């Protein structure tokens, strides 16, 4: 089994930068994806292949992945960005999700 660890919560003021980390063994050599999930809704892909944004995802979402840590950065955070965020990676023929981080916009 492959473990991906995220901080349970991150708080950010509107307009500031939120940083969510995802730690896993040798994660930098795998593709990391990130999903946003709002209450009562299905997850939405916000980043894939570490840094790529799907069509329709705002430029304020960016990512990096190196060593054992992948990072999701939300620049100029807006109230609509308040949600749970999950990282994901593939290892030994299986997908694994991170433990999830609740981003609160205060």
Partner 1 sequence: QVQLVQSGAEVKKPGASVKVSCKASGYTFTSHDINWVRQAPGQGLEWMGWMNPKYGNTDYAQKFQGRVTMTRDTSISTAYMELTSLRLDDTAVYYCARGIQLWHMFDYWGQGHLVTVSS
Residues that bind partner 1 (CB under 8 A): 1, 30-31, 33, 35, 37, 42-45, 48-49, 52, 54, 86, 88-90, 93-100
Nearer to partner 1, 73 or 91 (CB): 91
Closest separation in Å from C-beta 15 to partner 1 = 29
DSSP collapsed to 3 states, the chain:
CCCCECCCEEEECCCCCEEEEEECCCHHHCCCEEEEECCCCCCEEEEECCCECCCCCCCCEEEEEECCEEEEEECCCCHHHCEEEEEEEEECCEEEECCCEEEEEC
**Nearest CB to partner 1, comparing residues 13 and 104:** 104
Q: Which is nearer to partner 1, 7 or 43 (CB)?
A: 43
Minimal distance, residue 37 CB to partner 1, in Å: 8
CB of 89 to partner 1, least distance (A): 7
């Amino acid at each position: 089994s492959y473990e991906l660890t995220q901080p349970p919560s991150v708080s950010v003021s509107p307009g500031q930068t939120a940083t969510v980390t995802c730690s896993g063994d040798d994660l930098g050599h795998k593709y990391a994806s990130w999903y946003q999930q709002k209450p009562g809704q299905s997850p939405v892909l916000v980043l894939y292949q570490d840094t790529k944004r799907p069509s329709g995802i705002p430029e304020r979402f960016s990512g990096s992945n190196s060593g054992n840590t992948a990072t999701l950065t939300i620049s100029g955070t807006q109230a609509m960005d308040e949600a749970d965020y999950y990282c994901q990676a593939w290892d030994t023929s299986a997908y694994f999700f991170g433990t999830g981080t609740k981003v609160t916009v205060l």
